[in-house]
């Protein structure tokens, strides 16, 4: 059975400020959705709320996978249900080697009943899979021995996110600007890699400001976020149109949201002055 990720009337606060103001989105396994929108419109906030970042508080509405409400699940439990986020700004963890991190993550996803301290997946099986996947994604094998993201270039960090995606094989993957900061060869490798990985068994939400990733991974749906709401949904041609002409047209078509966007920006400026 194909799984369904359902976001209904989602309101999310960061501290006192409401950032998401009623987001609705449904994604089936096997579908590719693009999420676009100007800086600060709430795209990363949606991504964080989906995976359960503690700073992002759901005040109304719900997120569910096949009817299971995610509200009371922590990020690990959500990952076990098949959710994965490739971060816009991946964190560095000095002292934790890439290989150890990945072996733990893979074991925890594949063996949900494992208790802390119990055995990890067999080393030989892990090594083989890791080596083959790194080769496919054009990542130097030496990276497996380094500390996670420590001293990695921007592009190397993004490729590390795709490596995790390839190994964890989630049902729903959210890619938050995985294509930004990559040189054009790396964008191609990541785009082709994603195209190979996605398919009937994976739903992908691609958050992007660029077009390359979407050329290799054509979205069935393109959503436009403005001031914390999805104000328009179209197909791949909407993504193309936004790349060509920017968000002026969207703001014109949705004057109320545009006014909210402006008010929020003024508030932010007032707070920093
Ligand atoms: N942890 C946080 N603390 C304070 N403000 C936050 C936090 N997270 C998000 N915000 C605010 O929420 C708004 C939406 O931010 P978000 O990062 O979701 O935008 P975005 O659409 O991903 O933008 P970009 O295209 O620049 O990545 C911004 O005004 C941002 O400052
Ligand atoms: Mg963002």
Q: Is 39 touching ligand 1 by the criterion CB < 6 Å?
A: yes
According to the model, what pLDDT value does residue 138 have? 86
Residue 88 Cα to ligand 2 middle (Å): 6
Q: Is residue 156 part of a domain?
A: no
- C-alpha torsion angle, residues 170, 159, 238, 12 (rounded to 10): 60
Q: Is residue 147 part of a domain?
A: no
Residue 1 has pLDDT above 80, yes or no: no
For residue 256, report the phi and psi dihedrals to the nearest 5 degrees.
Answer: -65, -45
Q: Is residue 211 part of a domain?
A: yes
Q: Is 41 touching ligand 1 by the criterion CB < 6 Å?
A: yes
The range of the structural domain enclosing residue 38 comes to 4-89+171-272
Kindly identify the ligand whose nearest atom is closest to the C-alpha of 271: 1
Q: Is 105 touching ligand 1 by the criterion CB < 6 Å?
A: no
What CATH number did the domain enclosing 57 receive? 3.40.50.300
Banded model confidence at residue 185, pLDDT cuts 50, 70, 90? confident
Residue 181 has pLDDT above 90, yes or no: no
Of all protein residues, the one whose alpha carbon is nearest to atom 26 of ligand 1 is 39
According to the model, what pLDDT value does residue 67 have? 95
Rounded to two decimals, what is the model's pTM?
Answer: 0.94
Q: Is residue 145 part of a domain?
A: no
Q: Is residue 83 part of a domain?
A: yes
Q: Is 269 touching ligand 1 by the criterion CB < 6 Å?
A: no
Tens digit of each residue's pLDDT (9 = 90 or more) over 222-258: 999 999 999 999 999 999 999 999 999 999 999 999 9
Write out the E strands in 185-226. Answer: 203-207, 221-226
According to the model, what pLDDT value does residue 186 have? 87
Give how many domains the chain has, as a whole number. Answer: 1
According to the model, what pLDDT value does residue 208 have? 95
Burial of 101 (0-12, 13-18, 19+ CB in 10 A): middle
Q: Is residue 82 part of a domain?
A: yes
According to the model, what pLDDT value does residue 5 have? 98
Q: Is residue 214 part of a domain?
A: yes
Q: Is residue 146 part of a domain?
A: no
Question: What is the rounded CA–CA span in Å between residue 135 and residue 139?
Answer: 6
According to the model, what pLDDT value does residue 123 have? 96
Tens digit of each residue's pLDDT (9 = 90 or more) over 96-110: 999 999 999 999 999
Residue 40 Cα to ligand 2 middle (Å): 7
Q: Is 55 touching ligand 1 by the criterion CB < 6 Å?
A: yes
């Amino acid at each position: 059975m194909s799984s369904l990720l359902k976001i209904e009337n989602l309101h999310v606060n960061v501290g006192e400020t409401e950032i998401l103001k009623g987001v609705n989105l449904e994604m089936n396994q096997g579908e590719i959705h693009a999420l676009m929108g100007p800086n600060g419109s709430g795209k990363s906030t949606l991504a964080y709320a989906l995976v359960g970042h503690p700073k992002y508080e759901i005040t109304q509405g719900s997120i569910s996978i096949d009817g299971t409400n995610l509200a009371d699940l922590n990020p690990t439990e959500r990952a076990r249900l098949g959710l994965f986020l490739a971060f816009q700004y991946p964190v560095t963890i000095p002292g934790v080697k890439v290989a150890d991190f990945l072996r733990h993550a893979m074991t925890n996803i594949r063996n949900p009943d494992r208790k802390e301290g119990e055995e990890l997946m067999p080393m030989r099986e892990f090594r083989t899979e890791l080596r083959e996947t790194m080769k496919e994604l054009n990542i130097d094998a030496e990276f497996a021995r380094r500390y996670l993201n420590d001293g990695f270039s921007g592009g190397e960090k993004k490729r590390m996110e795709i490596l995790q995606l390839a190994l964890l094989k989630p049902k729903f993957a959210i890619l938050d600007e995985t294509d930004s900061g990559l040189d054009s060869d790396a964008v191609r490798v990541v785009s082709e890699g994603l195209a190979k990985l996605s398919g009937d068994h994976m739903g992908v939400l691609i958050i992007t400001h660029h077009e390359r990733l979407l050329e290799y991974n054509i979205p069935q749906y393109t959503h436009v976020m403005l001031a914390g709401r999805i104000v328009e949904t179209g197909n791949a041609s909407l993504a193309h149109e936004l790349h060509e002409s920017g968000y002026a047209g969207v703001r014109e078509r949705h004057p109320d949201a545009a006014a909210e966007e402006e008010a929020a920006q003024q508030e932010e400026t007032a707070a920093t002055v």
